[in-house]
A = this chain, B = another copy of it.
């Protein structure tokens, strides 16, 4: 199993797997026992061969004419994504975006357990947001070490993002989820994933501006 999980797969496969998982969890809830690649592909307008390849990486094996076990797919995809055991995370920046993430109950389903928040604003320190304590930022390094926390979530304004990431990495954080609209410089070996909200918005507003201008012409 360990060898299987160490297979490097493409970002696009990793991004399609949550879609399949959502679908098969729905089927599971409806009591459906088997599903074919073709049926999954149809749901998303994907190529069935692509779906088969994506599922292959999880180690789940289908049966000819019967398809894949729905239960098997739920278990294997969750396991492959690292969503069967929640990873503990610390969040820095208890502003609006930070608060939202602290209150987003679905994250635990997706393998993320935000243990505590940190902020340098002394007025926020000591308060609780959705039951989670807000601690002084200066306490982060010690707690990362003591609690073996691996994930750091950066929710501070753009100009503070790099120093916060540096603090996390020096403390031993191994993976950073960045919500700040700023690029981060990260040493080799540390995992960086940008939530890219601003960039997603850029694609939307540019497309809309273009569409509205075309309509006017």
List chain A positions with a Cβ less than 8 A from chain B.
2, 5-6, 8-9, 11, 14-15, 17-19, 22, 26, 44, 80-83, 87, 96-97, 99-101, 103-107, 110-112, 130, 150-151, 158-159, 174-175, 177, 181-183, 191, 193-214, 216-217
Contact = CB atoms under 8 A, between A and B. Distances in A.
- The binding surface of chain A is classed by DSSP as helix
Most B CB within 10 A of own CB, among A107, A174, A199, A214: A199
Contacts of A203: 11, 14-15, 193
Contact of A96 (B2, B104, B159, B199): B104
A179 to B, nearest CB: 9
Contact of A208 (B150, B197, B198, B212): B150
Contact of A8 (B82, B200, B205, B210): B210
A8 B130 CA distance: 43
Nearest to A83: B205
17 contacts: A2-B217, A5-B209, A6-B217, A14-B202, A15-B202, A17-B202, A18-B181, A18-B202, A19-B199, A22-B158, A87-B208, A99-B103, A100-B100, A107-B201, A110-B205, A191-B211, A193-B207
